[in-house]
Amino acid sequence: MHNSRFQFRILLVCLPLIAIAGAVNTFAQTPNAEIAGYVRDESGAAVAGARVELRGESRVVHTTTSADGSFSFTGVKGGGRLTVEAPGFAVFSRLLKKEGALSTIEVVLSPASIREQITITATRIEAPLISTAASVRLLSSADLSTTAAITIDDALRQVPGFQLFRRTGSRAANPTSQGVSLRGVGATGASRALVLADGIPFADPFGGWIYWDRLPRAAVSQVEVVRGGISDLYGSNALGGVINILTQPNNGPRVSFESSYGNQNTPNASLYAGTRIKKFTASLAGEIFQTAGYINVSKNDRGAVDTPVASRHRSLYFELGYSPSKSSRLFLRPSYFAESRNNGTPLQTNRTHVAEIDGGANWNPHRVGRLSLRGYLSTQTYDQIFSALATNRNTETLTRVQRVPAQAAGLMFQWSRLLGERQSLVAGFEAREVRGASDEIVYDRGNASSLVGAGGRQRSYALFFRDTLQFSSKVSISGGTRVDFFRNFNGLSVSRGISPGALQNVTRFADVADTTFSPQVSIVYHANSELSMFGSFNRAFRAPTLNELYRSFRLGNALTLANENLKRERATGVEAGARLSLWKDRFDLRASFFSTSITDPIANVTLSSSPTLITRQRQNLGRTRSLGFEVDSNLRLNPSWNINLGYLFSDARVVNFRANSLLEGLLIPQTPRHSLTFQVSYASSKPYKFGLQGRASGPQFEDDQNLLPLRSFFTIDAYAARSFGAHWQVFVAGENLLNSRYEVGRTPVVTIGSPRLVRVGLKFNY
C-alpha cells in the first residue's frame, strides 16, 4: 500500500510536466527565424543571458539567450562564425554553412578553464579560483549530472579526503554518523567541516551531523569544497574546511525533473520549477525517496534480528524573491524535511522532522560596496530507539527510547568592497543561538525503569575581517582574522525512577564562556602564465555540540557516554604547494603539502570492553596531527571528454594524550592514510552522455586503540544517458558495479557497505 501511494505521487508530478513538454514541442516546431537555437550546459540545463554573436561576411549581429536558453536571428541569410559566451563557461565557436532554410542549432557549453572558474566560498566574495591559495574543488552541474550517485554525499566522495564518520552513505547510515571529515582531521558524529546551503548553516543544530537530503537534488546547481581550516571567515566547525551547496539561480521559467527506479526497491522523484514575473521570482523544489535497503551484517554473523537498513524521506522548499532595483534583492525561503529509517533490527529505528525559514537581502550601492543580510529560524525533532543484542544476534532487548527537540536561530551580515583593481575587503558579523535536550526512557531487561533528560543552550557572536591585496601582476597576499564569543548556559541533567515515589535527581552544570581568535594569512606567486605557487597559515576551531556535552547513545553493543566538561578543539594549519596549467589550460594540476595539528580533539575513548558491552566516553584527546600530501588534476581532452584524478595521503595520529599514553602514536579512528578518486565523463551536443567514477580507500581503524581494523576497498560507478529532443533524457546509473564487499564498521560485529545499486530513470529539462 505504501509503494502504491508513493508511485501515485510520482505520477501526479509527471502529468503536468508531460503537458509542458507537449507545449514546448509545439513551440519548437514553429519557425520564426532563419537561424535559431538553444544554449545548454552539459547537464542539459538552459543557459540564460549568454551572449550570442553571428559574424558573417558583411555584417555582425548580437543577441542574448532568453530564460529557456533560446536565441534567434531574424532576417539573416547565409552562414558565418557563431560565438557564444557565458560566465563560468568556455567560449563556444562554430562556423555555420550557408543555408537558405531554417537552421536550428544546439549549443552545449563546457565548464570554464581554471583561469575562468570563480569561487565564492573560499573568500566569501566572487574571486578567480586561480588567485586563491585555498584548496578548492568545484563540483559543477556538469559533474553532478554525470555521476551515478543518487545523494549529494555520495557525489562528494569524488573529492579526495571527503569522508563521513563511517564509510556508509546517507542512504543507509544513521544520521548521527553523518559528520564530515576532510583531509584526515577525523570526525565523530559531529562534523569537523562546516556544511552550508547558499551560505546558511546546514548541519543539525544539536548534534552537528548532516541531513544530506534536506535539499532536493534537482535544486542543486553546484557544490564548492574548501579543504583546510577557514575559521577566519566561518568560525566554529570550519576546522577542516567548508562545503557550500549552491541552489539553482532563478533566471526565469525553468522546470527540471528527475525520476528513477532501482533494485533494493528504490524509487525516487525530484523536481525544481522556477519563474520570473517582472520584479518577482518564485521557485519550488521537492523530492520523495525510499529504499528497502540491504542487510548490513555479513552472512556469517547474521542472526534472527538482522533486518535491512532502509530509509524514506521527503523534502520541500519554496522561495519567493523581489528585486526592487538592479542592485538589490530580497528573498524568503521556507522549507520542510522528514525522514524515517530502519537501522538494521526490528527495534532500532529513528525519525526526523525539520522545519526552517530562511530570508535575506542583497544590496550593491556602488559607492558603499556590496551588502548582504541573512537570517534563519529552525526547529526539529529527532526520535531514536536503541536496543541491546544477544551475542548470537537472535534476540534484542529495548534499552532506550530517545527524543531530541532542538531549535536554532541565526543572523549574518556581510560587507565587501573592491578598492580599485588591486584590493578587496570583506567584513561581517554573525550571531547564533541553539537550544536542545535529550529526553529518554531507560529500560532495564526490557522494562521501563527511569526517565533521563539532559540539555542546555549555546549562544555565540562573531566579528570577522579579511583583506586581499594584489601587490603586482605576480604576487597577492591575503590576511584576516575572526573573533568568536561563545557561551554554554542553562545546562542540566534530570533523572527520576518510574516506580511510584521515586525521587528526582537534578544536576546543574556550570555556565562556560570562551573567546577564540582565528587568524589567517596566505600568499600566491604567479611565476608565469603556466605556474603559480602558494602558501598559507591558519588557526581554526570547533566548539563541542550540545549532543557531545549532554547526550549518551548506544550503537550495537557500544555505549558512548556524554561529557559536560568538554573543551573546544583548536587547530593550527600550514600548507604549501603549486598549480600548473598546460596546453592552453586543458590540463590543470594542483599539488600541496599540508599539516594540521589539533589541540584537545574530541574523540570516543574506550573505558572498558567485554564481549557484550564496549563502554566509551567523549574526551578531549590531548593533541593529534594530520600530515599529508594532496593532488588534484583535470584533463579536458576536447570539449566533450574530461578526466579528473585526485589523490590524498594523510598520516593522522595521536601525538599526545596524558590520560592514556598507550594511545600516543596510534592512527586516528576512521581516517585512511590513502584515498584515490577518478572520474571520466563525456558530454556533448550529441544525444549521448557518459560518466565513470572510481574510488579507492586504504585500511583504517574503527576504534581509538587500533584493535578493530577495516580493510581497504575499491568501488566503480557508471552513468549513461541518451537525449530525445531538446528536453527529455533517459539514463542508467550504477553504483558499486563490481558489487565489492567492503567493511564500514565494527561494533564489534562487522557491518558492510551497500551492494550494487542500478537505477533506470527519466529526466526532463525546460
Q: Which amino acid is at 333?
A: R
Same fold, 31-109 and 118-765: no
| Concatenated DSSP letters of 538-601 | EEEEEPPPHHHHH--EEETTEEEE--TT---EEEEEEEEEEEEEETTTTEEEEEEEEEEEEES-
Rg from Cα positions in the chain: 27
Q: Is the pLDDT score of 622 beyond 50?
A: yes
User: How many CA atoms lie within 13 Å of 280's alpha carbon, on the beta-carbon side?
Assistant: 4
Q: CA torsion 157→599→572→240, rounded to 10°?
A: 20
Residues above pLDDT 90, as percent of the chain: 57
**Cell of residue 47, nine digits:** 543557459
Q: Is the pLDDT score of 706 beyond 60?
A: yes
**Cell of residue 328, nine digits:** 538589490
What pLDDT, on a 0 to 100 scale, did the predictor assign at position 327? 86
What pLDDT, on a 0 to 100 scale, did the predictor assign at position 67? 67
What is the fold, at CATH topology level, of the domain defined by 31-109?
A: Immunoglobulin-like (2.60.40)
- β-pair partners for 440: 402, 452
Average pLDDT of span 405-423: 93
pTM here is 0.87
Domain ranges of the chain: 31-109, 118-765
Give the range among 75-84, 252-261, 473-482 with minimum mean pLDDT. Answer: 75-84
Q: Tell me the C-alpha to C-alpha distance, in Å, between residue 154 and each of 327, 494, 682.
A: 37, 39, 20
**Cell of residue 541, nine digits:** 576551531
Q: Tell me the C-alpha to C-alpha distance, in Å, between residue 2 and each of 171, 451, 535.
A: 19, 34, 55
What pLDDT, on a 0 to 100 scale, did the predictor assign at position 555? 66
Give the pLDDT band of residue 88 (cuts 50, 70, 90). low
- Cβ neighbours of residue 596 under 8 Å, at least 6 residues apart? 183, 184, 185, 228, 229, 240, 571, 572, 573, 625, 626, 627
**Cell of residue 512, nine digits:** 562556560
Average pLDDT of span 79-91: 79
What is the fold, at CATH topology level, of the domain defined by 118-765?
A: Maltoporin; Chain A (2.40.170)
Give the range among 196-200, 252-256, 396-400 with minimum mean pLDDT. Answer: 252-256
Q: Is the pLDDT score of 114 beyond 70?
A: no
DSSP 294: E
User: How many CA atoms lie within 13 Å of 256's alpha carbon, on the beta-carbon side?
Assistant: 27
Q: How many CB atoms lie within 10 A of CB 87?
A: 12
What is the rounded CA–CA span in Å between residue 226 and residue 129? Answer: 11
**Under a CB-based contact definition with an 8 Å cutoff, are residues 364 and 373 in contact?**
no
- Residue showing cell 565494527: 746
CA 245 to chain centre: 6
Average pLDDT of span 344-364: 95
Give the range among 43-47, 302-306, 399-403 with minimum mean pLDDT. Answer: 43-47
- β-pair partners for 432: 410, 460
Q: Which amino acid is at 479?
A: G
At 272, give phi and psi (nearest 5°).
Answer: -135, 135
